[in-house]
Amino acid sequence: MKTRIILLAIIMISIMSCNSEKKTNSEVISDTITEKYWKLKTLNGREVTMVENQTRETYFILKSEDNRLKGFAGCNTFGGTFTLEKGNSIRFTNVLSTLMACPDVVVNETEFLKVFNLADHYTIKDDVLSLNIGKRAPLAVFEAVYMN
């Protein structure tokens, strides 16, 4: 009887430690991409710069607490949800934007927002994030910007 109780205790401890390890790995994955201000640098291989009449730069942030996506597409704000998985897989869902008209803004918002519908993989190196379809050429490249 004592042997069974000890064996059960060992199994429970093993299960609990495995669960905490998985959570830690998930946190490490999300810490590299979430809670950062990602400024758009290139879109479909073309450099993106802010134009004079643009109110702010094109960016997005992933909020880990509620898996929320939020950002600015050049004229309109946008939001949605995201999911991170092993192997740098990422899925964006329910991406919606406001519908303001900004005829003088150079960034093609439709092209930019399409990235969130197509991307399923990301890579990060030296604070540079690429959103890709699989392991192909990046749809968009972003740079992490740190606020003081």
Q: Are the C-beta atoms of residues 70 and 82 closer than 8 Å to each other? A: no
pTM of the model: 0.76
Q: Between the CA of residue 94 and those of 22, 104, 141, what are the distances in Å?
A: 27, 27, 21
Distance CA 127, CA 75 (A): 25
The residue among 67, 146, 70, 84 whose CA lies nearest residue 113 is 70
Alpha helices in 1-148 (DSSP H): 2-33, 109-118
* Structural tokens at position 32: 């590299």
pLDDT of residue 8: 42
Query: What's residue 47's pLDDT?
Result: 92
Please count the other Cβ atoms lying within 10 Å of the Cβ belonging to residue 95.
Answer: 18
Q: Which two tokens stand for residue 1?
A: 């009887």
Q: How high is the pLDDT of residue 97?
A: 96
What's the pLDDT at 22? Answer: 37
Residue 127 is predicted with a pLDDT of: 94
What is the spatial distance between Cα 90 and Cα 65, in angstroms, rounded to a whole number?
Answer: 16
Paired residues of 96 in beta bridges: 79
Q: Give the Cβ contact number of residue 142 at 10 Å.
A: 27
How far apart are the C-alpha atoms of 121 and 112, rounded to whole Å? 16
pLDDT at 101: 83
- Dihedral sign from CA coordinates of 97, 98, 101, 102: negative
Q: For the chain (length 148 residues), average pLDDT per consecutive 10?
A: 49 45 41 90 90 84 96 94 94 95 77 96 95 92 89
Give the pLDDT of residue 145: 93
